[in-house]
Amino acid sequence: MTEYQFFATCPKSLEGLLLTEILQLGASEVRETVAGVYFGGSIETAYRVCLWSRLANKVLLPLTSFDVNSQEDLYDGTRTIAWQEHLSPSGTLLVDFVGTSDAIRNTQFGAVKVKDAIVDCLRDFSGERPSVAKRDPDLRINTRLSKDKVVISIDLSGESLHRRGYRLKQGSAPMKENLAAGILLRAGWLQIAAEGGALLDPMCGSGTILIEAALMAADIAPGLGRVGFGFERWLKHDNEVWQTLRNEAHERRRIGLEKELPEIRGYDADLKVIRAAEENIISAELDNWLRVSRKELAEFKKPTHTQLKNGLILSNPPYGERLGEVESLKMLYAHLGERLRNEFQGWRAGVFTGNPELGKQMGLRSDKKYKLFNGTIPSELLMFSIDGDAFVQSRIEQDGRFSQDKEERAAAEKLVQETNKQEQAAALSNGAQMLVNRLQKNLKQLEKWAKKSDIHCYRLYDADMPEYSAAIDIYRGVPLHGRTEQMYINVQEYAAPKSVDEDRAAQRFTEIEAAIPYALDVPIQNISYKQRRRNKGTMQYEKLTEIPTGELFSVIEGESKLHINMWQYLDTGLFLDHRIVRDMIAENAQDARFLNLFCYTASASVRAAMAGARYTVSVDMSNTYLNWARKNFALNGLSESRNRLEQADCLKWLEENDQQFDMILLDPPSFSNSKRMEDVLDIQRDHADMIHHCMRALAEDGTLIFSNNLRTFKLDLEALGAYTIKDISAKTIDEDFKRNPKIHQCWLISH
């Protein structure tokens, strides 16, 4: 058979894998270049590459190359080819032109010149002229211009080979099939599959990675499902050779599917893309072997329906482009790392991302990194062995100061603590010592209750001693880059009355600062001090700094994790006095449609979602707090497909809403004059109208939870006489707020 020289193109960064693949397919004289591989062989070799290559985009047969210094050079060089050997004069053609130069500055113009030369050649030969077909031409010609040199080739593949033919539907950011195949090869899937290992994708999208993995495991030619190839109406096409190759591929497919394939499963939180994945799997005729289902990342764990050997977890999580997205995705990647550590020790994992910095949030140390391109986006495949050696230690654990023997380190730390304690005690004034005694007494009482109730955040002190007028809250949380729980203290000093001398007020605050670290044995870097006063600005929640001055961390409440920032804002992201209200929401959330108005950081929505809510909708005007809410959802492996966030004026949103909800939380501020609102909000004046709007959105057997923190608030029972109203304020005040039971009021309202 005649030997030819061919060129196979591929995505950048897959050249080495493509070279190996083409060698295995029987090619000779194989040579790698940027975004492609040159190879030699018969026409059968080219057909085999078209049919079996999992990585190539195009297979080209170069006909000629020549220098181009003018448009006439391009035309004349193209005319020298005997086009009657390749295309019938009555056929159709399409010219793809790539590249520009000083002589050819426009690719469309270049394509026209090449087309004109081919048409003129065939007309001179037969008197007939072919026509141009933008779709399904008889012959596709590829012209590449680089550095004033043109290469003209027959495009044997036709449409790009990454289009296998099975993908009928796709998600918002689909991965090309040949890139998915390259990622699987880099991840070692062929060996894992040969050993009977499983493949799981927790964020599978439209299923491309899963389908490509199954094609590999079952020895199915990726081109077997395509409608056609570029060579099939080429005049030099050898159909007998081609049919032999196709028959061989069908037989290999039959044998491959008769074997027991490894377990391949995919999950995604978005039901829409799961439906798309199901259609693609059916189109690929793999529905008897592949399974996908809607599942939040929070629910991702090893399947229990069969005994699985260790395998591969491989996924392409979102990586975001806007700042708010990236910040919430840090939580998503952290949660993915946690699921891997907790559920899949002994497995391999691969994460393909266009933002490798996000991979650092996973708490796992990658043992291999492969640089790849997703289109034009530089990306990385991060590979992990999920075992103890790969677990990233916290910053404290990594610190070189603690490289001594454990016993020596513990002794040194104890000595430092005792010395510090002595120094702190000596510096305490009589008033500060009184505050220390009160804090330690409260801690002794409340700590037992908190541990028994599995409560990690609570109010320790609330101006118990009038001269030390502050609220002191304990948060036990885990730093975002650590795994060990630490104690954090949030101190909010109430503004002193005008009758109190400013110097005396400052002195008392200094005594508070001295007493807290001594009484609670907490490092000063874990304590946040703020002064709470009536906000005179346009925002309900005052921003204190642009950059956090301390460590960000997460706390556990019920089954949920919540992101805490004690340093940038007056409030931390979690209203502790509403703990029982959130517990109540979680207890009643199963299959409920939940609406959270004035949602702040959506902690109540997270609790509802983790408890099995059908879906949640959270509305707030502040994009800052909605981005915080995104972090909370991501931290728990919850997607926004069933947990919608709406940036809107709640009053306006309610007026325009036409949805029904089974449970609504209405917890507005006492007062707001935000510039984003059309009017000023006054809870005493406006609450009846708000409740009426909520009741229109409430299902017949639903419940509205209405709460506010205005001490002087009076519910307008006359205006709300059409509803059943139950005051549950006393029941929603937990142990740590019983010293100050007027912290909020709360009602259940139903039809």
Average pLDDT, the chain: 90
Q: Are residues 644 and 744 in the same domain?
A: yes
In this prediction, residue 396 has a pLDDT band, given cuts at 50, 70 and 90, of very low
In a domain, 559, yes or no: no
pLDDT at 321: 61
Q: Are residues 41 and 95 in the same domain?
A: yes
Q: Give the single-character DSSP code of 569.
A: B
Q: Which two tokens stand for residue 265?
A: 């499963």
Dist. CA 494–CA 474, nearest whole Å? 17
Q: How many domains is the chain partitioned into structurally?
A: 4
Q: Are residues 150 and 191 in the same domain?
A: no
Q: Which of 78, 244, 277, 79 is nearest to 175 (CA)?
A: 277
pLDDT at 401: 39
In a domain, 402, yes or no: no
pLDDT at 538: 41
pLDDT surpasses 70 at 85: yes
Dist. CA 386–CA 337, nearest whole Å? 9
Q: Give the three-state DSSP class for 482.
A: coil
Q: Give the single-character DSSP code of 486.
A: E
Residues 6 or more apart whose CB falls under 8 angstroms from that of 581 comprise 604, 665, 667, 705, 707, 732, 746
Dist. CA 616–CA 663, nearest whole Å? 10
Q: Which of 480, 482, 560 is nearest to 298 (CA)?
A: 560
Q: Helices 15-24 and 177-186: crossing angle, nearest 10°?
A: 90
Dist. CA 95–CA 278, nearest whole Å? 36
Whether 685 contacts 724, CB under 8 Å: no
Q: Give the three-state DSSP class for 95.
A: strand
Q: Are residues 210 and 351 in the same domain?
A: yes
Domain of 8 in residue numbering reads as 4-155
Whether 364 contacts 386, CB under 8 Å: yes
Sign of the CA dihedral with 271 first, then 274, 280, and 285 last: negative
Q: Give the three-state DSSP class for 706.
A: strand
Q: Are residues 62 and 185 in the same domain?
A: no
CATH at 329: 3.40.50.150
In a domain, 241, yes or no: no
> How confident is the model over 709-717, as a mean pLDDT?
93
Q: Are residues 106 and 209 in the same domain?
A: no
In a domain, 162, yes or no: no
In a domain, 488, yes or no: yes
> How confident is the model over 341-354, as a mean pLDDT?
94
In this prediction, residue 322 has a pLDDT band, given cuts at 50, 70 and 90, of low
% pLDDT > 70, the chain: 90
Q: Are residues 631 and 723 in the same domain?
A: yes
In a domain, 166, yes or no: no
Q: Which of 152, 144, 95, 99 is nearest to 119 (CA)?
A: 95
Q: Are residues 321 and 462 in the same domain?
A: no
Q: Are residues 506 and 639 in the same domain?
A: no
Q: Are residues 338 and 437 in the same domain?
A: no
Q: Which two tokens stand for residue 269?
A: 């939180």
CATH at 526: 3.30.750.80
pLDDT at 502: 75
CATH at 95: 3.30.2130.30
Dist. CA 58–CA 50, nearest whole Å? 8
Backbone φ, ψ for residue 716 (5° rounding):
-80, 85
In a domain, 465, yes or no: yes
Dist. CA 287–CA 293, nearest whole Å? 13
Q: Are residues 627 and 657 in the same domain?
A: yes
Q: Give 696's strand partners.
A: none
**Among 484, 519, 554, which residue terminates a domain?**
554
Q: Are residues 538 and 603 in the same domain?
A: no
Model confidence over 278-305: pLDDT tens digits? 999 999 999 999 999 999 998 999 988 7
**Among 390, 415, 441, which residue terminates a domain?**
390
In a domain, 84, yes or no: yes
Q: Give 593's strand partners.
A: 615
**Among 554, 588, 610, which residue terminates a domain?**
554
Whether 675 contacts 686, CB under 8 Å: no
